[in-house]
Amino acid sequence: MTELTKTLELKLVEPNANKRRKLCETREVYQQALHHAFDAGCTTQTEANDIVVNYDLSGYAKNALKKYVPQLTTTYNAGDLHDDHPVRFTNEGLRFDHKPENAIEWYVKIPHHEDYHLWLPAQPNPDQRDWLEALNAGDATMGEGRLFERDGTWYLHVTATRDVEDGSEVSAEERTPIGVDIGEASLVTVCHRDGHGSPTDPELWADEGKTVRRLRKTYFTATRRLQTRGSERISESFGDDLWKRIDEVFHRVTREVVEYAESVEDPVLVLEDLTYIRESMDYGEYMNRRLHGWGFAKLHAQIRYKAVEKGIPVETVNPRNTSKECHACGEVGYRPKQATFTCTNDACWMGEYQADVNGAVNIADRYLSGESCSREHENDDDSAEDGACLAAPQDSQADATTQETLGPYAS
């Protein structure tokens, strides 16, 4: 077992003037409390508590300060404080919310005053989606958060940790690639080649594809109807419930994909590179996939973090024509039906083949042909660019369980 720790980077997406002012307020009061406690030479949490308790700050910020100031004065022996320390919050004060139906999918809850917090839309670093999925599912633990502003943009950095199994030492070339195809008919299809090179053990999650399509359709028709009636609240909670059910399907399928990989000796899971998918498609196809883009990204992110948990490596490959080429001869064929691939090469032994399995084998083969990318591209997230903003979580007075200033870090 190894413990992985990562700093998750989220950009707060254009907070309005009111929220911006509140963030500035928090920062200002935090700096005052920090300087006050530091200048007073507090070396224990109790001493720091006596000072920060008087400031109009959230208890989560006060608790973080009580822990931080003694570190500055004793461990780091800091002589001087500069002026732009990030505002720290203990993890209990932060929360994420995922709304895949919205243009900006992620929201973060940031404490403001003692009984007040803000919900803000946030754009995560796209390379860290797997971590957010893990956090969202309770498979990673959130640590301290740090809020700061750079060049007029606000950011929240949050540390997260999770336990992963150590992988085997087998070299990349000796691994057995398992192709993972994500689609509409079959939500996920996996396949690999046996020792003789024949495709073997294909597994398709077709019923789940059907379930997800049905839930999505229900969501879009029902919310449209409720919204025209002005029942936004009902529409929102109804939508949340449907997306939660889709997410449950995703989690089960991605867990089973990783179990499939565990049944293969020295596996590597091979996914299509999402960036290429966008670049290599024509517009209609692109828009179609864009609508399902969150599904791709979400399934990929969940497979990634669950595979890493089990010590299984994940690679991405160029997806160009993976669904159009014949896995036996490489010729571009066609799909007379959604589920069928037909090879047009007369010299090829293969006539018809299950289309999703053909795609999965092609994806696996690209790993061996060296068409893999070590990681997905930076900035593969265009979700901020289009789409209307739907309902967002509401800022509110804190829950009934108001946090105590003397929280878990009190001495």
Report d(CA 129, CA 397) in Å as an integer. 29
Q: Which residues of 13-40 are buried (b: 16+ CB within 10 A; e: fewer)?
A: bebeeebbebbeebbebbeebbebbbee
Interface positions, 101-140, toward Zn ion (CB under 5 A): none
Q: Which stretch binds Zn ion (CB under 5 A): 35-43, 234-242, 324-332, 392-400?
A: 324-332
Of 350, 384, 390, 392, the one binding Zn ion (CB under 5 A) is 350
Q: Which stretch binds Zn ion (CB under 5 A): 69-77, 124-132, 350-358, 403-411?
A: 350-358
**Residue 115 tokens, joined:** 């009984």
Shortest reach from residue 330's CB to Zn ion, in Å: 7
Closest distance of CB 155 from Zn ion, Å: 51
Q: Which of 81, 348, 368, 390 binds Zn ion (CB under 5 A)?
A: 348
Residues in the chain, total: 411
Q: Which is nearer to Zn ion, 348 or 410 (CB)?
A: 348
* 222 versus 348: smaller Cβ distance to Zn ion: 348
- Report in angstroms how near the CB of residue 334 gets to Zn ion at its nearest: 12
- Closer to Zn ion by CB, 344 or 396: give it: 344
Q: How far is the CB of 343 from Zn ion (least distance, A)?
A: 3
Give the list of residues 6+ apart from residue 160 with CB closer than 8 angstroms, or none. 5, 6, 7, 8, 131, 134, 135, 140, 141, 142, 143
How far CA 182 is from CA of 168, 189, 312, 339, 396, in Å, comes to: 27, 6, 19, 13, 39
Separation of alpha carbons 89 and 21, rounded Å = 18
Size of the site for Zn ion (CB under 5 A): 7
Tokens of 230: 């002005």
Task: Check residue 326 for interaction with Zn ion (CB under 5 A).
Answer: yes
Q: Which stretch binds Zn ion (CB under 5 A): 14-22, 174-182, 328-336, 390-398?
A: 328-336
Which CB, 45 or 322, lies closer to Zn ion? 322
In the block, tokens 């109009």 appear at 56
- Judged by CB, which is closer to Zn ion: 340, or 345? 345
Least distance between Zn ion and beta carbon 176 (Å) = 23
- Determine, following the binding rule CB under 5 A, whether residue 335 of this chain makes contact with Zn ion: no
The set of residues, in sequence order, having a beta carbon less than 8 Å from that of 111 and lying 6+ positions away, is: 26, 58, 59, 60, 61, 89, 93, 94, 117
Closest CA to 384 of 152, 126, 171, 123: 123
Enumerate residues 46-65 that contact Zn ion by CB under 5 A: none
Smallest distance from Zn ion to CB 3, Å? 47
Q: Does 343 bind Zn ion (CB under 5 A)?
A: yes
Output the smallest distance, CB 331 to Zn ion, in A: 5
Alpha carbon distance 331, 352 (integer Å): 13
Judge contact between 163 and 2, C-beta under 8 A. Answer: yes
In the complex with Zn ion, the residue whose CB is nearer, 20 or 335, is: 335
**Nearer residue to Zn ion within complex by CB, 116 or 334:** 334
233 burial (CB, 10 Å; 0-12 / 13-18 / 19+) is exposed
Q: Which of 142, 164, 185, 328 binds Zn ion (CB under 5 A)?
A: 328
> Which residues lie closer than 8 Å to 119 by C-beta, 6 or more apart?
97, 107, 108, 109, 110, 392, 393, 394, 395
Told to check if 345 binds Zn ion by CB under 5 A, we report yes
Tell me which residue has tokens 């608790």.
63
Question: What residues does 155 pair with on adjacent strands?
Answer: 11, 148
CB of 202 to Zn ion, least distance (A): 17
One residue of 329, 390, 391, 392 binding Zn ion per CB under 5 A: 329
Beta carbon nearer to Zn ion, 172 or 332:
332
Min dist CB 182 to Zn ion, Å, is 23
Closer residue to Zn ion, CB minimum distance, 253 or 343: 343
**Rule CB under 5 A: is residue 340 a binding residue for Zn ion?**
no
For Zn ion, the closer CB: 218 or 345: 345
Note the residues at the interface with Zn ion (CB under 5 A).
Answer: 326, 328-329, 343, 345, 348, 350
